[in-house]
Structure 1
């Protein structure tokens, strides 16, 4: 998520049909996330070096990784993901089942659960949350605000021109919530494990005016709930956000319904520079940080730190915006960019051991990956030839790259930008450079179509093909502006059809064929690499399981 899990813009075809057989998943064990914590010491503070400040603390409005990192410690959803995997497991729901048509989902809820404000969690609370999401108004309907809802559920109650996947929620009894969908989708119920769809206290939502989002130009201001009073059911609860000292603090929830957190509190110390985070770890000022530079792994290990390497479940790509520069609408020009980039050298020089050149926009572990595709080899002469054929030998591109961020697929944006820009220039492509902070203009500019090319990527939220290529290209009004291409609508329709296919084998074949077309006929962006990211801690920190979804939970952590 991921991911987002993500300051990651999700462009998905929100509604898709898939035949869903009657499904009943249950767990004999409750969703107690502390079960793997071992016999670590109780008490103490874990100080984690964060790359940036959280945007806010209401996960429904979140889009960035730092917000999700903090929020997932305080909130829970109906389902979650098993530690260290992308597999769905029970969380606030102990089991669930669907109707044969996949439109009606019945969730049996965990009992004796309370929100941080002491109010009870029950089926009514579940429905309050679903109805809150569905009934967003005004500025809150913006894609910059309710992004995850729009991209995964579609429209709102008052947007008949944009229908929603969600139809209704009913509390059959206090421990049974029934969710009705307008159609079946391969994304359900795993989508409910996304941090954005965590369950908030209905009382706190009302008390702190949670939906009062106000637009001010391209920016938004958020209410007290999002800034000061986030209220979930998780093992930690909100302490404070000390903006003067760049510190976020969460404290143990002593009334937690599962295995209680061992730590007294977790402090997120905001240190934007990756080198500064490394220095802070070595100095003992922090206990860990995410995404250490791959060049530092060996040194960190030799210094006695625990470098936990996650499985590669991401893709880095060079985004191509076809809106502003008509030359980029020519396939030969986009192919020239692909030949111009020395991806093998980039992987060797800029990414950690285990990174690979991407042949498509999903990793090999996802069903629908086309094994027949091979990586396009670096060929600067071929790039120049294609540009000449397209009448674009004088090509100039606005190239954007982000500062104040590290991502699992992009550990050092500056270095990756430098390598790619240098390759493009060798092919005769002029580069006009713009760099902006990740949460300080970069993502906004990308979403507004300012750059011609840009660095971005994706860490999967789950293991479905639609979560990858559907996210990127499932709509024509995406950040690549494929609507400017004659094939944009055809691609979007084909992705929707694949997601709608009830037969799993046929669906996989459809995605394989689509991946081939994406790389050979459409090429809306350049897939660069898959990279195994790491997270590093002092040896005394125990009980944190590295997640391919970057979904690490600190409830099971202890400090020796």
Structure 2
């Protein structure tokens, strides 16, 4: 998307120096600057004072400060500090828990849920959080039109709620009723068993109606392939969370400070700085230089040496999937024999051993084994280069063929800490069976996701997913529940099966249905599940506790610091 290189709003009076990724001298020069910031933000004075500025290295800029128009982890990491939803996540799990809603009750037919709202909560601009604000947000999403509906813009709402006000026959959402200030009822047009846990997504966080209107949050320009963000999404986000937005210098850093009227526990941290460092080695150097307190997506080769040096390594339980996408709009990839050949050409265990973190599991399907519907007997395509060559010959490509291979640069993802290494590994494996790739690298933000998800101009490609909550639809429903430019296929039978399963309220019936669907997906082989990586974070010794979450639901008020 069109994040420019200039600040969106003026920085605070004391501008912070930026860390240039990959240049270790820059990291050292910043030490004094960061130290001065921290001296201004200590919780007490004298010996034993706790430094209350927390500096975290992000692997990329957020794509959007409006979480409703975001789908990437770096946007959501920031959003979780600024915003809150009706539903949160039980710490350390993927299960839903009360947040701005203290409780809820769903009707037997699954078509309405009534939420009892927390009272005395305000948005950062002083606007009251109440039932009317909830309805404002739900109706906002439902009434998007044009480019606002594009997959590159409102990815989650489109994937989970399926339709908008101009297509009510497809829509899951129907209406919202404010029952006084502290109770609200959401009515659905169709059953959606994952409705409540889905609300834990930052994309469905509550945002200030006042700010959304004042800063024209829905004025999305550009095209589906290259959308441009609103004034709100570029520098005026307003939520109810523990931290409020201060400034964003694109490509350098983003700053937040504690919201003094926050309704909950504010913890130790008063100021948070997200420093943008896209290179894993540069993030490690910054940690070692003392210019950051921690970072995510530690390169697999660095975990042991950092731990030996006294840094705190915090692993996450794997709740991810890395896959090799195949765009069926490409004639060769539309052939099921070719897709089977590609699957047989890949040695997943070698890929895991050589490029992914310790603890990563080889994937047989698009959900981890802890998610309902995991099929122990699913069809697999074992590593067999000779079988791959036979299938290519049967498909009419005895000498192989050439195909574009898209992969991201300047980013690390939880499911893929080092994309270039994964690309190189897979390229070599495909070459062994005669498939030659044309490399098509692109910077993650803003180019890669827009190209792969918003245009037909791609071939093989690397993407993945960190589960947002423990629901099967959040994985395979999001991937394969409807036509997508990413995959370029139309499979009405699969779409119908997934639509039916997501509406089932009987857990056993739904689990059995998803087991069958996972077999259906395996036989169709629209893309290749590669691995369930187990990402790690690294922290300075002063970070004594970090709330690692399998779904990245990590709020910095829960961090514990020793100095």
Question: Taking structure 2 as the reference length, what is the TM-score of the superposition?
Answer: 0.88
The offset of 1:43, in angstroms, is: 5.3
Aligned position for 1:95: 103
The offset of 1:205, in angstroms, is: 1.4
> For 2:517, what is the secondary structure of its paired residue?
helix
User: Contact between 2:226 and 2:450, CA under 8 Å: does it hold in 1?
Assistant: no
Aligned position for 1:33: none
1:442 is the counterpart of 2:448: yes
User: Contact between 1:544 and 1:553, CA under 8 Å: does it hold in 2?
Assistant: no
Aligned position for 1:197: 204
User: Contact between 1:80 and 1:90, CA under 8 Å: does it hold in 2?
Assistant: yes
CA distance in 2, matches of 1:224, 1:440: 17
Aligned position for 1:206: 213
1:470 is the counterpart of 2:477: yes
Deviations 1:1-23 (A, max 9, x none): xxxxxxxxxxxxxxxxxxxxxxx
Deviations 1:41-94 (A, max 9, x none): 765111111111112211111122211111110100000111211010000000
Structure 1 residues 137, 517: closer, same or farther in 2, change over 3 A? closer
Structure 1 residues 142, 155: closer, same or farther in 2, change over 3 A? same
The offset of 1:178, in angstroms, is: 1.1
CA distance in 1, matches of 2:272, 2:531: 33
1:76 is the counterpart of 2:84: yes
Runs of 4+ in 1 over 6 A off after TM superposition: none
CA distance in 1, matches of 2:198, 2:131: 18
1:494 to 493, 497, 500: 497
CA distance in 1, matches of 2:329, 2:379: 29
Aligned position for 1:335: 340
1:277 to 280, 283, 295: 283
Aligned position for 1:536: 538
2:515 to 501, 512, 530: 512
The offset of 1:217, in angstroms, is: 7.5
Deviations 1:261-288 (A, max 9, x none): 3211100000111110111111111111
The offset of 1:237, in angstroms, is: 0.4
Deviations 1:17-37 (A, max 9, x none): xxxxxxxxxxxxxxxxxxxxx
Q: Which moved more, 1:260-269 or 1:221-230?
A: 221-230
CA distance in 2, matches of 1:216, 1:481: 19
The offset of 1:462, in angstroms, is: 1.4
Deviations 1:361-401 (A, max 9, x none): 11110110011237533211111111111112331111111
Aligned position for 2:40: none
Task: Within 5 Å, give how 1:155-170 maps onto structure 2.
Answer: 155-160=163-168, 163-170=170-177
> For 1:416, what is the secondary structure of its paired residue?
helix
Structure 1 residues 278, 286: closer, same or farther in 2, change over 3 A? same
Aligned position for 1:389: 394
1:453 is the counterpart of 2:460: yes
User: Contact between 1:313 and 1:363, CA under 8 Å: does it hold in 2?
Assistant: yes
Deviations 1:145-194 (A, max 9, x none): 2221111112222334x532111111111111111111221111111110
Structure 1 residues 495, 138: closer, same or farther in 2, change over 3 A? closer
> For 2:179, what is the secondary structure of its paired residue?
strand
CA distance in 2, matches of 1:330, 1:65: 33
The offset of 1:222, in angstroms, is: 2.4
User: Contact between 1:76 and 1:195, CA under 8 Å: does it hold in 2?
Assistant: yes
Structure 1 residues 130, 431: closer, same or farther in 2, change over 3 A? same
Aligned position for 2:557: 555
Deviations 1:465-511 (A, max 9, x none): 1111111111133521121xxxx111111222222334322221121
Question: Taking structure 1 as the reference length, what is the TM-score of the superposition?
Answer: 0.89
1:118 is the counterpart of 2:126: yes
Aligned position for 1:59: 67
> For 2:227, what is the secondary structure of its paired residue?
strand
| Count of residues in correspondence between the two structures | 513
> For 1:515, what is the secondary structure of its paired residue?
helix
Structure 1 residues 212, 559: closer, same or farther in 2, change over 3 A? same
CA distance in 1, matches of 2:236, 2:51: 24
> For 2:531, what is the secondary structure of its paired residue?
strand
Structure 1 residues 332, 137: closer, same or farther in 2, change over 3 A? closer
Deviations 1:199-258 (A, max 9, x none): 011111122222222225732332322222111000100011123x71100001111101
The offset of 1:526, in angstroms, is: 1.0
Greater relative contact order (Cα < 8 A, sep 6+): 1
